[in-house]
């Protein structure tokens, strides 16, 4: 979202500074592309990376935008495209040595091989990370509270994803709600059974969605002439929304 906003604004002859706190541009697309068959997502990032300097955008990598750094530039407009962070459930006895998020797995900051793994959350990201883990020799159980998997996927992606899951070794438990996680103990409740049951994996991976990062936007409110909030920072959704809102904001500056 931010890359598109910067490109469109620069193409409209504005002087543009793009801040990225990580060492590389691309946000969630960098690791979303690690899931099976999604490597082409990186083509879009590579295209934008090539276009930004050509359009004259000053790219500041490894540089977190704060209210101070932003206001020091005395900008006419600020487009906040700060994305989101993965939701981590608030179970009191959650032990981070046995649990992580789908983002950690796809980013490679947690590497699991030949382990018993429970993935909690069977939306698109949970399904993709389950396949990713199964391809690396893990014995994966995917727990989803709804009766169906990947209900947030668009239709063609969903058909392919369900086919791939069906052909994989992933054990699927739908209509199953994760009630608590204590260390390596996962307590769950099936719609069909009023009693709770337990799983005892070696590792637990949460794929429970994204929460927006809007702190910077809130801190800048009322301090700059024109302020926009776009993409997942506004409301976690899809690439299309981030790109569309980024381009739209850049044309409104």
Residues making contact with ligand FAD (CB under 6 A): 1-2, 19-22, 27-29, 32, 64-65, 81-84, 102-103, 106, 125, 213, 216, 231-233, 237-240, 242
Cα–chain center distance at 18: 20
Closest CA to 217 of 31, 52, 58, 84: 84
Q: Shortest Cβ distance from residue 238 to ligand FAD (Å)?
A: 3
Q: Shortest Cβ distance from residue 182 to ligand FAD (Å)?
A: 26
The DSSP annotation for 58-91 comes to EEEET----HHHHHHT--SEEEE---EEE-----
Q: Which is nearer to ligand FAD, 199 or 231 (CB)?
A: 231
Whether residue 239 contacts residue 43, with contact meaning beta carbons closer than 8 Å, is answered with: no
- Sign, Cα dihedral of 109, 104, 80, 29: positive
Q: Shortest Cβ distance from residue 230 to ligand FAD (Å)?
A: 6
Q: Which is nearer to ligand FAD, 199 or 233 (CB)?
A: 233
Q: Shortest Cβ distance from residue 118 to ligand FAD (Å)?
A: 18
E-state strands within the chain: 17-20, 58-61, 77-80, 84-86, 99-101, 116-120, 139-143, 171-173, 176-182, 185-190, 196-199, 203-206, 210-212, 226-229
Q: Which is nearer to ligand FAD, 82 or 168 (CB)?
A: 82
Q: Shortest Cβ distance from residue 98 to ligand FAD (Å)?
A: 21
Q: Which is nearer to ligand FAD, 103 or 188 (CB)?
A: 103
User: Tokens 């926009």 appear where?
Assistant: 228
Q: Which is nearer to ligand FAD, 19 or 203 (CB)?
A: 19
Q: Shortest Cβ distance from residue 127 to ligand FAD (Å)?
A: 10
Q: Which is nearer to ligand FAD, 74 or 195 (CB)?
A: 74
Report the C-alpha gap between 237 and 253 in whole angstroms. 23
Tokens of 156: 């063609």
């Amino acid at each position: 979202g931010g890359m598109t906003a910067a490109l469109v604004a620069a193409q409209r002859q504005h002087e543009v500074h793009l801040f990225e706190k990580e060492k590389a541009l691309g946000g969630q697309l960098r690791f979303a592309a690690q899931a099976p068959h999604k490597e082409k997502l990186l083509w879009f990032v590579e295209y934008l990376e090539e276009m930004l300097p050509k359009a004259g955008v000053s790219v500041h990598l490894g540089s977190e935008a704060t209210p101070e750094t932003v206001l020091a530039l005395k900008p006419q407009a600020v487009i906040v495209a700060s994305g989101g962070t993965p939701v981590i459930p608030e179970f009191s006895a959650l032990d981070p040595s046995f649990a992580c998020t789908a983002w950690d797995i796809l980013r490679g900051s947690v590497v699991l091989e030949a382990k018993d793994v429970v993935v909690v959350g069977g939306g698109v990201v949970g399904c993709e990370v389950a396949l990713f883990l199964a391809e690396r020799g893990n014995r994966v159980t995917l727990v989803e509270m709804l009766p169906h998997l990947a209900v947030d996927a668009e239709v063609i992606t969903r058909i392919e994803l369900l086919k791939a899951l069906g052909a994989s070794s992933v054990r699927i438990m739908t209509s199953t709600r994760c009630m608590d996680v204590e260390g390596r103990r996962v307590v769950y409740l099936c719609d069909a059974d009023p009693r709770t049951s337990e799983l005892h994996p070696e590792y637990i991976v949460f794929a429970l969605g994204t929460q927006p990062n809007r702190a910077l936007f809130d801190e800048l409110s009322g301090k700059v002439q024109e302020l926009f909030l776009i993409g997942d920072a506004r409301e976690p959704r899809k690439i299309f929304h981030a790109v569309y809102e980024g381009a739209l904001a850049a044309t409104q500056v």
